[in-house]
Chains A and B, each alone.
Chain A
């Protein structure tokens, strides 16, 4: 659905986005991670045809970003939640959405239905006639998301959708993104909240002007530190540790009757490890996969 190849943006001599190549599949939630100034917003602006690219190519569906004839078509098929909500504070929630609906050739009835659907889904229907300026930050963010969805776009770009929200409002927004995911929309999510990316994204990319990593959150974690399992025992002794080493596994950490063991494929290797522990007289209480968090991966990659 979204494809870029060597997408680059320069402001004068400053390279803001450098040769970014990526592909976002239809119906995928794609997380775009990176520190402030990494070029996330600039990339989104290029993909939404808000600013021009310096070089490289990008496509949304069948349309070419940067091709004048395709610009309007791209804008019709994408929805954008901007970093700043940018609502008309004097207008009611309903009027804010109705205003935007007019630009997408939606007749009045269709606009009414879509506004009602979105406001009900986001819990704002009862307050539809109140000025947006009276809303809390979370409600404004929800209204801005509704605005991005007013024309039922196939592709949704969300730029920091939960930034500056309290945990409850952030959860509401995240749950809504998951709901959109169920509807098989393609979502491009700019965020620096790794926990959020891990919860909602199918795949993530880490950007620091250049793309420095791309994959599923699990793949990125494994790429950094491989896979690990943690075995909690009633008690740990040297016999058990030696038994594990004897069958070819590395014990990387021993903690309070727990062993962290490096593995390649736990689904296949766990049985052998469990047998070795039991044969050495150990009593397993539980076993779980552990490893680096996405945050560890992110920090390692971003700090270089």
Chain B
């Protein structure tokens, strides 16, 4: 596999993303909202709370619950980008010239995976950095120590790339069946459903996002990533693309 070719595909996608304001907004909005809004909510709650408990939850419990939103973001943001990157090629009819180059299917897919992975992941990490700094700022006086960084957010940021990868591969499969960017993006959001499910399960006490469960989750998603990658590779066939993709 020629990694330079795969990187060239990703670098080309980055250039296109820079010129697509819709992609920039989607990428920035979610991590920024989580990174800024949740610390503000915590600050507001602390201001009104009489003890270190907020609505029955400890401050740290609330912060841990909010940090799980970065996992949901890791599923949502790649859906927007990966859908565009492949459906965009279909719309512009640029896949045939691309397939006529000496690149292999694997190199094209790897390039698409990198472009769908790097930007959302950078946004998630940047958002989580803002989240940690602001949370520490608003809780330091109440807790008496800096809560972040800690192993919990570390585990979340370890799982995030695996979820991003799952979302990207799933979106490659979805994009191969759909022609419209918006529809592909909406369907791609389905990749976030399992993580929404886990989030609500944790809210109702059926699941805990503790460090050990996060590591188990990482292992499960890693296996799923492999399966979805092979399915996406099987879906991405030159002849199918040229003769059946509408």
Contact = CB atoms under 8 A, between A and B. Distances in A.
Given A51-B238, A75-B102, A84 B96 contact: yes
Given A88-B16, A91-B16, A80 B97 contact: yes
A103 interface: yes
B5 A91 contact: no
A147 B102 contact: no
Contacts of A279: none
A236 B4 CA distance: 76
A45 B242 contact: yes
Nearest to B101: A103
A108 to B, nearest CB: 12
A139 interface: no
Nearest to A102: B8
SS class, residues of chain A in contact with chain B: mixed
> Taking each of B92, B102, B239, B243, which has the highest tally of chain A beta carbons within 10 Å of its own beta carbon?
B102
Contacts of A100: 97, 101
Contact of A104 (B16, B92, B101): B101
A91 B102 contact: no
Contacts, number: 72
A144 B98 CA distance: 12
Contacts of B246: none
B20 interface: yes
B99 A50 contact: yes
Contact of B97 (A72, A89, A90, A147): A147
Interface string B64-93: 000000000000000000000000000011
A50 B96 contact: yes
B98 to A, nearest CB: 8
Contact of B239 (A48, A51, A91): A51
Interface string B86-124: 000000111111111111100000000000000000000
A75 B101 contact: yes
B96 A82 contact: yes
B15 interface: yes
Interface in A44-92: 45, 48, 50-52, 72, 75-76, 78, 80, 82, 84-91
A131 B94 CA distance: 15
Given A50-B238, A50-B239, 17 more contacts: A11-B243, A50-B96, A50-B99, A52-B239, A72-B102, A76-B102, A84-B96, A85-B93, A86-B92, A86-B98, A88-B12, A88-B16, A88-B92, A90-B16, A95-B12, A99-B8, A102-B8
Interface of B: 4-5, 8, 12, 15-16, 19-20, 92-104, 238-239, 242-243
